[in-house]
Amino acid sequence: MKAEHYVGGVFRSDGPAFPLIAPADGTELGAVPEATREVVDDAVAAARSALKGPWGAMAAEERAAALRRVADGIQARFEEFVDAEVADTGRPRAFAETVDVPRAVGNFRAYADLLYGRPERAYTTRVPGWSSGTGEALNYTVRRPLGVVAVVSPWNLPLLLSTWKIAPALACGNAVVAKPSEETPSTATLLARVIDEAGLPDGVFNLVHGHGPGAAGEFLTGHPGVDAIAFTGESATGAAIMRNAADHVTPVSFELGGKNPALVFADADLDAAVDGTVRSSFTHSGQICLCTERVYVERPVFEEFVARLGERARALDGYGPMISAGHRDKVLSYLRLAREEGATVVAGGGAPRFGDARDGGFHVEPTVLTGLPETARAVREEIFGPVCHVAPFDTEDEALALANDSPYGLAATVWTRDLSRAHRVAPRVETGIVWVNCWNLRDLRTPFGGVKASGIGREGGEYSLDFFSEPVNVCVQI
């Protein structure tokens, strides 16, 4: 799939090109155009114009039908989307087939469905006559779109996370300018093709490619014509976008990084806890914001848990590469640092050798560490790779203190057979999401997001619709 901008209903390749590299084997996949400031200006202007055209007057039922056409278009090109996602990210094909593309289809269908049966709030009140009116009044709330929404999505789950924002933004009647990661442009371009074929009015959806600082990302998030920003990515980038948006007081919705804890109590089903931790630490080689990097295990089962987790990590195969050479080198630098800080490497700890084309790619072994103090950088800082550190605890209060001693607060897992403990512990973990005896079990209607340095706001179901629309109260004296 050739990466192209999509602006005002036209595909174009303005700007200097940069290479797209396959993380699986290091080969060059093609070239990506770098959007200039002029391209971004054109995209924002096209979105603004679309709001004044048929899209701005379109009924919710018509918007829902348009979203369903997009969902059908993704489904019709299912294998193309899978191929593009696998090429860009290097993830196992089964992951793209069962998660990435089905969830993209589901996102558009879910938000089309949510447009129906969403009653506006209405109530009557009797208010004191401190102003010009007195007596009973009918108050009701209507919602209007925010306007032009910038959607900036990351490289780790590029199709899933972009559609997670684009679908509700369009459902609410906004026009979108999307910028995917420069590492993973292909499925975004293919999505633009599908939206074009679905017949949405020109300018309703726009796509610009490029880098972040001093480039397309900065041009877009600091643009005075942008009315809201939805971003998923690392916390430092979120802070930079927030500073960029501050001049125009632009609303933001951020899902940022995490250093997610798991709490494994001695009464847990140890088979399930080990299985769950293997998935939560090493799925997509740890390159999911929800992945577990800190594992705290009650001391009576600590040694057994570590031995079993290490054995499982050593046996893993087909786990996929890091997204780039730079990110691989970052992860490996943390493994060197962990050794310097006194870690015991139970499993992994380096770059594997395969003896085939994968040796040109950007792979890191699934790694289990123990023995580090809580002050160690490898315990405090987000690594975003297939790495977890396991430490013991003795009491429930200690486990909570360890879990909460982090600048991040995205997700946590609790493993216990004691449901009273589960209900007692889960609300005290300082994260936006807590899974009990499972991991990444997601109902798309539930609130998704973090606290502290892990984000601002919530996404999912009505929560996304609340962000992407503006409530307006209408008060009529009776």
Which residue numbers are catalytic?
255, 289
Q: In the beta sheet, which residues pair with residue 295?
A: 262, 390
**DSSP-based three-state secondary structure for 357:** helix
- Chain-centroid distance of CA 466 in Å reads 18
Rounded Cα gap, residues 255 and 232, in angstroms: 5
Other CB atoms within 10 A of residue 201 CB: 17
**Residue 450 · residue 254 · CB < 8 Å:** no
Rounded Cα gap, residues 212 and 179, in angstroms: 9
Rounded Cα gap, residues 174 and 143, in angstroms: 12
Question: How buried is 197 (Cβ within 10 angstroms: 0-12 exposed, 13-18 middle, 19+ buried)?
Answer: middle
State which amino acid sits at residue 419: L
| Whole-Å CA distances, 394 to 84, 391, 398, 431, 451 | 47, 11, 7, 22, 26
**Residue 181 · residue 208 · CB < 8 Å:** no
List, edge to edge, every strand of the sheet that includes 469-477. 122-127, 135-145, 469-477
Would the CA dihedral through 423, 429, 433, 439 be positive or negative?
negative
Query: String of b and e for 236-274 (b: at least 16 CB within 10 Å)?
Result: ebbebbbebbeeeebbbbbbbbbbbbbbbbeebebeebb
Rounded Cα gap, residues 181 and 231, in angstroms: 11
